[in-house]
Structure 1
């Protein structure tokens, strides 16, 4: 007998509707002004809720940024996976995954760097932080699958190599010295580093 999902009750629908408003408000304000220049009061006002209600969904601006960026990061990873499927060589396929993530992170550079700091140093028990780490794990799994499938010379253990690729990508995006780099230049630098790990 097929399992059918129960429709959401009124309370759950109201909670989801508030969460959607909060996400939309935070996303718009962060994109326009940057996370550092936006207050939680501004987000609450734009979402048409009280600040007390806002804090039921996210305790800090960092958590709000994770909420917003996690959705964008997940979409970028999905696009990258699709592109990687049609890319024949291992390095090109790995870069097909990396490229949309870098572009997503660099849409608003300060927000992207803040997001990465929050991922690394944020509260791991917080649900949005946990979701961010889950997306990182999915990214590493996708890269490991490419390396395992292609088995390029010198790749070694695919899972370990994928963690190294992930570290290269995140450190490169977060580094202060790279904040002024154009996205294409950053992608070339990441590709150069990864190519030492995954020779053609």
Structure 2
């Protein structure tokens, strides 16, 4: 039994090592040239694994991108939650608190615009039950729920309305970061565009609540 347990442990360690090598290779290649200019063969070569092994972890190049971006997306949400949480504990405005949450996510997606646009497209239009997309969608729901929670400071706005507003705000982010019109914009410029639209949404509901 102990010998079998040892074999399972070594197998899991080897799988984890291969997954890490694949992730590191895909992350660096996608960052260097953009997902559209990288082949799965190049990823497998840099990771030093057979192409068939790579496909056991991600069946397509799009899934490879989702694997890589999911980790970055998760870290950006965590960073935003920490920043917005600090502001929420102070006298900061709702707009400032929400932007503190959004800004790291905008920076993450716009770090390599081609990769970020494709990632968002794949999450929205891809198969939602595919393992990596499912994980990415779970992070998207976490992000949206965090926005809704920050909107609790709006006067006379109930939970259902906060959920709807959070969906509107995430839609603004998605469109702004994927639209060809904004492809050449810097992360700072995208952040300013999102802030202006967020301010309009929040001012409208503050008037309703007043």
TM-score normalised by L of structure 1: 0.92
Q: CA deviation at 1:12?
A: 1.3
Q: What is the match of residue 18 of structure 1?
A: 18
Instruction: Verify the 8 A CA contact 1:23 1:67 in the aligned structure 2.
Output: yes
TM-score normalised by L of structure 2: 0.88
Q: CA deviation at 1:89?
A: 1.4
Distance 1:191 1:123 in 2: 31
Gap regions ≥5 residues in structure 2 = none
Helix, strand or coil: the match of 2:68? Answer: helix
Are residue 55 (structure 1) and residue 55 (structure 2) matched?
A: yes
Q: What is the match of residue 194 of structure 1?
A: 198
Distance 1:55 1:129 in 2: 16
User: Following TM superposition, where does structure 1 have runs of at least 4 consecutive aligned residues deviating by more than 4 angstroms?
Assistant: 152-156
Gap regions ≥5 residues in structure 1 = 1-5
Q: What is the match of residue 172 of structure 1?
A: 176
Structure number with larger C-alpha Rg: 2
Taking a change above 3 Å as real, the CA distance of residues 106 and 78 of structure 1, as seen in their structure-2 partners, is same
Q: What is the match of residue 185 of structure 1?
A: 189
Are residue 107 (structure 1) and residue 120 (structure 2) matched?
A: no
Q: CA deviation at 1:151?
A: 2.3
Q: What is the match of residue 3 of structure 1?
A: none
More helix by share: 2
Distance 2:175 2:195 in 1: 13
- C-alpha RMSD of matched pairs (Å): 1.8
Q: What is the match of residue 97 of structure 2?
A: 93
Helix, strand or coil: the match of 2:44? Answer: helix
Q: CA deviation at 1:10?
A: 1.4
Q: Per-residue CA shift, 1:41-95, capped at 9, x if unaligned? A: 0000111101111000001111000000000011111010111012221111111
